Structures are given as structure tokens and as C-alpha cells.
A and B are shown apart, each in its own frame.
Chain A
Amino acid sequence: MSRFTLDQEIRLVQDEILLLGSLVEQAILNSVDALQRRDANAAEEVYSNDRKINAKHYAIENHILITLATQSPLAGDLRFLAAMLEVNTELERIGDYAKGIAKVAMRLADSEYPIPIREIQQMADLATSMLHRALGAFVAGDIVAAYSIPEEDNKVDELYESTYRKIVEGMINNPDTIELGNQVVWVIHNLERTADRVTNICERIVFIVSGESVEFDVSDDENRDE
């Protein structure tokens, strides 16, 4: 097997990962947009598009496994392919979060529930911007960005806390909104988790570049939602 073929395969997988990343990124933004416009059709579209994301996820997994089996990569290449396998899974999970938000958007489409949409949009913008830059840093092997992006997770966490309190206050003042309010809590929870998954991707960047496994200080415990 030639070096050229391996390089080419790695580059192809890398492009596929970036494409999946952009699909997932847009899915999150579109789901929040559907929530804001209370547009059930748009939410439905995000929901059904998750199948595309899943299909892409499996195709990439396949591609990586075949490359591993046929090219026998070593050292940096092996680390990169192994990391991509993991990033692939992280992206698929973020896709699921978008699907979850779309599901809530469908339920809330006909309600008058006062969604704290500004905060939600802000969280979505922050999380997707982190995701976008993290994937860029991933292909570029940018370790500086890998260390700085997870710091932004704090902003998302802060927004999560304040919005959560706002929603709970609303529930206390008006118990009729408990059910829908609970749904909205799921939305902000999913966005907060998205940012956490981005920090996982950043950990992978450090792994590729240095071979070390680091754990960024994420303020929550990993088992909370699973």
C-alpha cells in the first residue's frame, strides 16, 4: 500500500467528517429556528433529516474501518483515524440532540408557551460556533484552539443555569406550564450537552497532536443525561 493512497483516504475521511459536522451544525440551528418560528413543518424536516445524519455516520465508520484494515496506518495516522472514529460518534450524538429539539418544537408549535427563545438562540449560536471551530482545529491539528474552545463551554453553562431558573420560575408561577416548560428544559439541556460534546472533540485534537489523553474540566458529570 502506498503512502499516497493512505494520505488520500485520510483526506477523504476528513472531508466526510467536515460534511457530517456541517449537517449536524445546521440541524441544531434549524431545530432552534423551527422552535422560534413555531413551525411544525420545519421541525418535522429536521426530525426526518436525522436519518441522513445517521446514514452518513455509518458510511464514515465503514470508510475508517476499511482504511484501518487495508492501509495498516501507524503512529500519527493511526491516532488520527482512531480519533475520527470517535469524533464521528460525537457528531452523531449531537445530531440526536437536534432531533430532540425538533421533537419539542413540533409539540410547542401550536402552544402559546412563552419560550425563552433569545437565550436558546444564544446557546445554539455559541454551541454551533464552538463545534464549527473545533472541527476546523481538528483537521488543522490546532492544539491552541483545542485548549481555548472548551473554555467557552462555561458561557453555555451559565446560560443554561439562568435559563433553567427562568423556566422553573415560570412553572412555579403558573403550574399549567409545567409540562411544556419541562419540554423546553430538554431543549436547553440538549444545547448544553452539545457544547460538552464539543469539548470531547477538543480532547481528541490533543490526542492526535500529542498522543496524550486529557480530560478538560467540564463542570458537569458525563453520566447526567444517559
Chain B
Amino acid sequence: MKSRFHLRILWPFVLILVVSLVALILLFPLVQNSVSQHALETGGEANYLPIFSLVFLILAIGLLVGLLINIYYTNQHLTTLEDLTFAAQELGEGRFREIRIPEDVGNMPEMQDLANALQKTACQTEEQFNALNKEQAMLSAVLDNMTDGVLIADDNGKVQLLNEAAERLFKIESEQAIGRSVVEIMRHYSLVELWEKTKNGNPETITMEMGSAHKYLQVIGINLEKDLPGRTMLLFQDLTQTHQLEVIRRDFVSNISHELRTPIASLKALSETLLDGALDDPPAARKFLVRMDSEVDNLIQMVNELLELSRIEAGRSHFEFQRSKPCEIINNAFERMSLQAEKAGVMLTKDCPQGLPQVNADPTRISQVFVNLIHNAIKFTQKGGSIHLTAWQEGNTVVFMVQDNGAGIAKKDLKRIFERFYKADQARSGGGTGLGLSISKHIIDAHGGQIWAESEGKTGSKFFFTIPAAVV
């Protein structure tokens, strides 16, 4: 630092000097007179010792006064400096609100300037700090609320940042992850490969399936070299749902082709046999035609169900809601299906408690749901088994149940059986279009109810659906 000389600090000395000089000038003649007089009176030599003593005394008093003044001012300066240092420390530690800068520092312009400068710095720093805080809060809010996972790593492969979505994806808390290697956190070779490529300046985008959780991810590598040297960012987009939809669509197309192919192939075989000469054998020809007729019926039913499903899905299906009695719905379904159950050797029973509230429903559609459920139950129940229909009230809804003691449904299939063409038992290729439950679900949805299935392994299944009670 350049040293400067402040003349102002000389003024106590000047003061002392001036006072001393004035005192000397004033007192000197008096003392000299008295010395001369004393010499004259005693006739001895003039004794100048008192003069010297006086001069020393005055100088000593001057020095003492100067020292006192000095002590006073130095103390004042030091106190102010201490306050300012303390304030500067507070500032350094970011406690802006607690800073107390002495407003009046007495007659010390330099100290006043320093205090003012400190005050200004504190204000500005607080403003900047708040602005930064706000910006950071905004950024972390964006980071933590985005659905995509973000991971930033340094060039040694140590994780530097992990947002909440990434925490969920890798099942680890950000605090535990930071500083650990990307391999340890991501635990997948494709991701580590992507990170290495991105780090080396060849960012890529990959899609991958992760582990036994079967998460489908699109991962984008971004090299942050420009803004944050050495840093690499990976962006994880969860496409599991999209992928599932894609799988359902693919299954749908492959199923529908398969389902259509079977009756068409039979038709083709039967018609070929007829053309090859079976026509000349009227009894055989008739048998073939009957089978062809039933295959065509199958096809018609499937196409109708498909059309129905697409109509319901598109919301173009017409429902005629009316107040209906739950027991009438059950009786109706029971009568329609009892013959079929009898043929299959399955006992169909029903009970319907008295006093159930009326429901707001389209009876034809609900009966269709019942028929679908009973039809399924018959299909998966062996000869000698039983199927039971019942209903009860629960709050503002009426719950209907179809219970069987048939093959049951595996737990993991329970959720998927309402998908189009989903068949829990893939080995069972024949029988049914695989659309019944899907249509039932849509019908119940349109009624504002719910449909679900429960099954305890091989002891049978229970299908439930609810319909809201009609408002009285």
C-alpha cells in the first residue's frame, strides 16, 4: 500500500508546541525578572536553574497533555476500528441482518468514510446475495420438480449433482450420492459407456431398459465443457408408460391378426373341402356348412365386439340410463346364463338381499357385463364347480359380485386382465375373443362405477363391479 503522510495527525504536537511557546514567552520575562532581581538583591550570580526547571516543567506538562490527547484519540480510533472489523466479519459470514455499523464515529473523517463504505458494501452484498439465493431457489425448484432425472458428474466420474427424479430412479439420496463414482450410482454399463462417450466429446442419446424393475429410459448425454469445464450431464427420461402402451398396441395387432386368422383358416379349409367334392355328399356338406356358419358367427361376434369397444372408447356409444332394480339385473343375467352353465356342468346360484336401492344404469349394458363375467367364470371352472351371483350395498353404491371356484388368476395378471386381448393363460389359445372384460370395464366406467377382480391362487376368483345408487 502506498504510504501517505497525513499532516492532520501533527496538530496535537503543534498545539503542545504553541501552548509551550506561549507559556514560555509569557512566563519567561517574569521568571527572568525574578532571577535578575534575586541576583541583584543577593549580589550573587544569577541562578538560571529555575528558568531551566520551568522550561522543563512546561515541556513535561505539554508532553503529558499531548500523551493524554493521543491516548484519547487512539482509543477512539481503535474502538471504531474494532466495531468496523466486527461488522466486516459479520458481513463475511453472511449475517447481513446482524451487522451494526457505527453511524456516528466522531470527528474522524477516514473512519466515517470506512464505515460508509462498509455500510454500502453490506447493502450491495445483501442484495446480490438475495438475488443469487432467489435464482438458486428457482433453479433447484425447476430441477427438483422436473420429471426427467438429471445427473452431473466431474471428469473423474464423481457425481456432483443429482435431482429428485434421479434420486428416485437410482433409489439413493442426493447427499449420499455426491462424491461417489457414477458406476456406483447408476449401476448400468450402458449408462457408464454413455457417460464416457459424452465426457470424451461424443454425446449420444440412447434408449434402454433398466434392470429387473424394467424401467424404459431415454438417456441424453450432454457435454457441459463450455459452461462448466470437465462436467458432463446425463438426462433421464422415463418412457416406461409410453413403452407399455406401445407393447399393448403391438400385442393388440398381433392378437387381432391371430384371432382373425383362426376362423378364417377354418373357413378356408371347409370351403376347400366342399369344392374338392364334399358338395356331392349332401350329409357331409351340410355338416361342413353348419361349421362354416358357426365360424362366421364367431367372426361376426368378434367384429361386433371390436366395433362396440372402439365406439365405447371413442365415447360414441349410446347409453340409456334408467332407474333399475339390482335384483332384476341379477335375475335377468341368471336366466340368460343358466342354460349355458347347466351344459358345462357348473352350478349357477344367486341371492339378492331385499331393500337394495335402485341404481342408475343401462340394464341392457349391465346385463352384458354380467353375461361376460359369468361366461368367463363358466370357461375357467371345471365340471362340478359352482358360480354364485350376489349384490350388496356399500355407501352410495351397489356392489355386484360373480364368484367362482375355478382356476383362479395369478396375482400379476389381475391388473392386466381388463386390457384388450389379454389372456391370463396364454397356453389356452381357443375360446373367447379376449375383449369381454375390456368391454365390461368400459361399460362400468361409463356408469361411474369400478370393476376389479380378486383371486387367492387356485381357489377361484371373484369379480366385483359397482354402480352408483340412483338419487332419490
CB of B255 closer than 8 Å to a CB of A: no
Q: Is A29 interfacial (CB 8 A cutoff)?
A: yes
B73-103 contact mask (Cβ, 8 Å, vs A): 1 or 0: 0000000000000000000000000000000
Which chain A residues lie closer than 8 Å to B190 at the CB level? 26
- Is A126 on the interface with B (CB-CB < 8 A)? yes
For chain B, residues 447 to 465, give those with C-beta under 8 angstroms from any C-beta of chain A: none
Interface residues of B in 172-219 (CB under 8 A from A): 181, 183-184, 187-190, 192, 209, 211-214
Q: Which of A15, A26, A126 contacts B181 (CB 8 A)?
A: A15
Check if A132 is an interface residue, CB within 8 A of chain B.
Answer: yes
Measured between alpha carbons, how far is A23 from B192 in the docked complex, in Å? Answer: 11
Q: Are B211 and A19 in contact (CB under 8 A)?
A: no
A206 contacts chain B at the CB level, 8 A cutoff: no
Q: State A23–B190 Cα separation when bound (angstroms).
A: 9
Say whether, besides A114-B427, A128-B211, A129-B211, A18 and B412 are in contact (CB < 8 Å).
no
Cα of A136 to Cα of B177 in the assembled complex, Å: 13
* Complex interface: chain A residues within 8 A of B354 (CB): none
Pairwise interchain contact B181-A19, C-beta atoms closer than 8 A: no
Q: In the complex, what residues of B have CB within 8 A of residue A25's CB? A: 211-212
Interface string of A1-42 (1 = CB under 8 A from B): 000000000010011001101110110010000000000000
Q: Are A129 and B187 also in contact (CB < 8 A) when A114-B427, A117-B426 are?
A: no
- Partner of A118 from the list B184, B192, B212, B410 (CB cut-off 8 Å) is B410
Quick one: which of B184, B187, B209, B412 contacts A132, CB cutoff 8 A? B187
Which residues 26-43 in B have Cβ within 8 Å of A in the complex?
none
Residues of chain A within 8 A (CB-CB) of B413 are 118
**For residue B428, which residue of chain A has the nearest CB?**
A114
Instruction: Check if B212 sits within 8 Å of A29, measured CB to CB.
Output: yes
Interface of chain A, helix or strand or loop or mixed? Answer: helix
Residue numbers in B under 8 Å from A21 (CB-CB): 187
- Chain B hits for A135, CB < 8 A: 187
Number of interface residues of A (CB under 8 A): 24
Q: A15 touches which one: B184, B412, B426 (CB < 8 A)?
A: B184
CA distance A114 to B429 in the complex (A): 11
Q: Which of B181, B189, B212, B412 contacts A129 (CB 8 A)?
A: B212
Q: Are B187 and A136 in contact (CB under 8 A)?
A: yes
Contacts of A124 in B (CB 8 A): 212
Q: Are A118 and B412 in contact (CB under 8 A)?
A: yes
Chain A's closest residue to B209 (CB) is A29
For residue A125, CB closer than 8 A to chain B, the reply is yes
With A19-B183, A118-B410, A122-B412 as known contacts, state yes or no: A132 contacts B189, CB within 8 Å.
no
B188 surroundings in chain A (CB, below 8 A)? 22, 26
| A139 contacts the other chain (CB 8 A) | yes
A20 to B426: give the CA distance in the assembly, Å.
Answer: 35
Q: How far is the CB of A33 from chain B (nearest CB, A)?
A: 8
Question: Would you call B426 and A128 a contact (CB within 8 A)?
Answer: no
Candidate in B181, B183, B184, B209 with the most chain A CB atoms within 10 angstroms: B183
Chain B window 386-413, contacts with chain A (Cβ cutoff 8 Å), 1 for yes, 0 for no: 0000000000000000000000001011
Smallest CB gap from A126: residue in B: B212
3 nearest interchain CB pairs? A15-B183, A129-B212, A125-B212
The 30 listed contacts between A and B (C-beta, < 8 Å) are A15-B181, A15-B183, A15-B184, A19-B183, A19-B189, A19-B192, A21-B187, A22-B187, A22-B189, A25-B212, A26-B188, A26-B189, A26-B190, A26-B211, A29-B209, A29-B212, A114-B426, A114-B427, A117-B426, A118-B410, A118-B412, A124-B212, A125-B212, A126-B212, A128-B211, A129-B212, A132-B187, A135-B187, A136-B187, A139-B184
